[in-house]
Amino acid sequence: MINTYTLKVILKAYLSLLILLSFILGKDLTLLIVLQNTLMFSLISALIFYIFNSFKENKFTYASGVTYLRVIISIILLSIAINSPFNQGIFNKFYLEDYFILLAFISLCFDGIDGYIARKLNEQSNFGELFDQDADTFLILVLCISLYLNKDINLLVFFIPLYRYIFILLSIKYAWVKYKLPESYYRKLSCVVSTCLLIVCHSHYIKDISLDYLVLSSLFVITFSFAKDILWLYNRDKYEKI
């Protein structure tokens, strides 16, 4: 159920989306692109606030607001990725002039800002942690879709964001996967490194074999991090049973 408070937050976010779209796309902005972004924004926002309400949070924090902005930028990047194969002007601006990379790096920088705000204002929450993780995964998924559609990368690239959902499925089936993982600098670093590699792949200077190596490097980093966490959880379960 959407209450007045939730509706206000969504409307402010939607206004931000329209302003950013107008600023980023300029003369390339069409009614179809606005409708595409509105549809994606509506579906994703409905999911966000369904989860938000399930956590029974009283306030959508400033940190979550920054995370929401990251999601909005990712929606715009997804729209650019989808429309680039059919619009030469958008493709030239964002893939040949590297504006796509700039936007993606801005989104990645906000990833550090929302965490800082949460700690500074003491706004840490279970919802905020989940929202942050899913915003990270959404950006990675968008980058993978972009590479697949505009850089001719094969479907193997989609294993990178898929690990997040494999972890969720495993936690449903196996109780030991639900143990809380310890804070890990490596886990955070691996996510940042993997995302950075995918962003760099969008540079028009990166071609063919170099592009494949970068994608495989990103996949290796995230695979190693995933395997490390699963192994830690499995060993803890064995230790608990002794």
DSSP string, 91-119: HIIIIIS-HHHHHHHHHHHHHHHHHHHHH
- Tens-place pLDDT, residues 125-171: 889 989 999 999 999 999 999 999 999 898 999 999 999 899 889 88
Please compute the mean of the pLDDT values over residues 1-9 and round it to a whole number.
Answer: 79
Helix, strand, or coil here: 214? helix
- Residue linked to tokens 């230790």: 239
What is the percentage of the chain residues whose pLDDT exceeds 90? 66
Can you give the residue ranges of every domain in the chain? 4-241
Please compute the mean of the pLDDT values over residues 223-228 and round it to a whole number.
Answer: 92
Full-model pTM: 0.92
Q: Domain spanning 4-241 has what CATH number? A: 1.20.120
C-alpha torsion 16→22→25→27, nearest 10: 170
Please determine, for residue 207, whether its predicted confidence score (pLDDT) is greater than 70: yes
Here the tokens at position 84 are 């680039």
Here the tokens at position 197 are 């590699």
H or E element in which residue 167 lies: helix 159-173
Q: Is the Cα dihedral 167, 101, 25, 204 positive or negative?
A: negative
- Tens-place pLDDT, residues 184-201: 888 889 999 999 999 999
* Separation of alpha carbons 98 and 204, rounded Å: 7
